[in-house]
């Protein structure tokens, strides 16, 4: 028998042990449980959290209220300002009371919804305890149009999804769903609702469609010289002097009913992006001008589209509003520190990144510009330098050189010094060896 659990985990990065607090709710027969556990960050990573309580409630109302109250106290009024996981839902094999410490290992693989508020927490808990709300609290926790639909990660994918390149991605939470489940659901049930993934370089935008669709994905890399033929196809020369038509990735995905993923969409000239207009609306058709007299290509069942792009950087162009309207589901993809942990990145490197993430949020909340935050790609490269045996100074200088904002260099140096106790400068040649 399986039990569905809702939970969250938050961290106080400023405490000596970087204390973590985790809370969970689940149904136990006709009653409801609210369980909590706590411990230092090392305990969180090592699944050695201390059990604090496992209280029993008679109604959904009280269980929902307990979780919402703790979320408010920990996230809004306390020092627990880093969300490690949550609000998330997952299934476990259990009957009756569960040791909350046993839920920690599962929750670690469910990434944070950094924009979550107390109403989202209430909605997730209400949906978990009762798919059909039976109380006033559960029924009014969130409007019916925004209620969580239970698109959680497949249990077989909870420990990661192996990508075609052999790397592992970990599904992340978005508005009560997981990223891969949401995209699969849209493709199957709302094939005209397309997604655009945006965020800083190295944040893992491309891993989301790969994780969701694997080999059922047709990928195209955008760049400043991309033209329509790169999308639809072109005549290519043959050894005997003749020419042969080859479908482009967009045409191929439409004919085969696969998912078309355009990466670096904001680098493609606007006039070229217009090729997607008739494909991304109700027509779902593509006219190929270089094949005069040919019938328009009509998208086969299963065809769907995703675009990924950076909003800032050299060579980046603003997306046309007409394209944004045709890709209405906008999802920000930023640093995924839990994936870095799972990939074996040094916990101290991750602590530097988390501290910069916290500082960035605080500065923006105060009306400032924020500071640079390393993405998972930056952390993985820094770890590779460490693994190469070149020493800590070279590795930390590599992280420093990854900073794309010159105004943030000092912030990064401070964060490194706070964790490692050493000053770091960019690599530069010195005197004769």
Residue with the larger pLDDT of the pair 90 and 246: 246
> Across residues 283-293, what is the average pLDDT?
87
Q: Using one digit for the tens of pLDDT, what is the confidence trace for 186-239?
A: 998 888 899 999 988 777 888 899 999 988 999 999 999 999 999 999 999 988
User: Which residue from 233, 235, 273 is spatially nearest to 255, judged by alpha carbons?
Assistant: 233
The confidence band for 343, taking pLDDT boundaries of 50, 70 and 90, is confident
SS3 content of the chain, % helix, strand, coil (to 5): 40, 20, 40
Does the pLDDT at position 286 exceed 80?
yes
8 Å CB contact between 323 and 273: yes
8 Å CB contact between 265 and 308: yes
Lowest mean pLDDT among 30-39, 144-153, 355-364: 144-153
Q: How many CA atoms are closer than 13 Å to the CA of 266, on its beta-carbon side?
A: 20
The confidence band for 162, taking pLDDT boundaries of 50, 70 and 90, is confident
pLDDT for 281 equals 85
pLDDT for 77 equals 60
Residues of the chain with pLDDT > 70, as a percent, come to: 89
| Residue appearing with tokens 């196809």 | 233
Q: Using one digit for the tens of pLDDT, what is the confidence trace for 103-142?
A: 888 887 765 565 567 877 887 888 788 643 333 333 333 3
pLDDT for 335 equals 73
Lowest mean pLDDT among 57-66, 165-174, 179-188: 165-174
pLDDT for 171 equals 80
Q: Using one digit for the tens of pLDDT, what is the confidence trace for 33-58?
A: 999 999 988 888 888 888 888 888 88
8 Å CB contact between 44 and 7: no
Task: Count, in order, helices (H) and strands (E) of the chain.
Answer: 16, 18
Lowest mean pLDDT among 31-40, 289-298, 338-347: 338-347
pLDDT for 1 equals 64
Identify the bridge partners of residue 196 per DSSP, sorted by sequence position.
307, 330
């Amino acid at each position: 028998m399986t039990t569905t659990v809702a939970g969250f985990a938050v961290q106080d990065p400023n405490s000596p042990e970087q204390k973590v607090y985790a809370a969970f709710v689940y149904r136990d027969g006709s009653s409801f449980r609210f369980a909590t556990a706590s411990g230092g960050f090392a305990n969180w990573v090592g699944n050695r959290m201390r059990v604090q309580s496992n209280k029993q409630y008679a109604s959904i109302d009280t269980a929902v209220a307990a979780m919402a109250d703790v979320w408010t106290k920990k996230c809004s009024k306390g020092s627990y300002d880093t969300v490690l996981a949550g609000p998330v839902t997952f299934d476990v094999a259990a009957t009756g009371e569960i040791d909350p410490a046993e839920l920690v290992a599962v929750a670690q693989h469910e990434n944070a919804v950094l924009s979550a508020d107390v109403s989202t927490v209430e909605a997730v808990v209400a949906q978990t305890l009762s798919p059909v709300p039976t109380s006033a609290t559960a029924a009014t926790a969130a409007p019916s149009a925004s209620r969580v639909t239970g698109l959680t990660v497949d249990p077989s994918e909870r420990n990661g999804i192996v990508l075609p390149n052999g790397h592992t991605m970990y599904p992340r939470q978005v508005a009560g769903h997981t990223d891969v489940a949401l995209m699969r659901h849209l493709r199957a049930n709302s094939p005209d609702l397309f997604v655009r993934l945006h965020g800083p370089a190295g944040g893992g935008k491309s891993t989301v469609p790969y994780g969701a669709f694997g080999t059922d994905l047709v990928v195209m890399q955008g760049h400043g010289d991309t033209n329509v033929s790169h999308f639809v196809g072109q005549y290519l020369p043959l050894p005997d002097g003749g020419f042969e038509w080859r479908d482009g990735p967009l045409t191929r995905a439409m004919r085969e009913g696969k998912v078309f993923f355009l990466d670096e969409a904001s680098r493609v000239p606007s006039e070229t992006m217009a090729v997607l207009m008739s494909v991304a609306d109700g027509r779902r058709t593509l006219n190929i001008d270089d094949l005069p007299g040919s019938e328009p290509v009509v998208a086969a069942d299963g065809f769907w589209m995703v675009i990924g792009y950076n909003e800032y950087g050299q060579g980046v162009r603003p997306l046309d509003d007409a394209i944004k309207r045709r890709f209405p589901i906008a999802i920000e993809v930023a640093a995924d520190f839990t994936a870095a942990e799972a990939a074996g990145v040094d916990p101290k490197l991750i602590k530097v990144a988390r501290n910069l993430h916290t500082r960035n949020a605080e500065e923006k909340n105060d009306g400032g510009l924020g500071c640079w935050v390393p993405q998972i790609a930056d952390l993985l490269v820094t770890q590779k330098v460490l693994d190469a045996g070149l020493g800590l100074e070279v590795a930390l200088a590599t992280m420093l050189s990854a900073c794309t904002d010159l105004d943030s260099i000092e912030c990064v140096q401070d964060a490194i010094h706070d964790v490692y106790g050493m000053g770091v400068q960019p690599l530069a040649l010195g005197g004769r060896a």
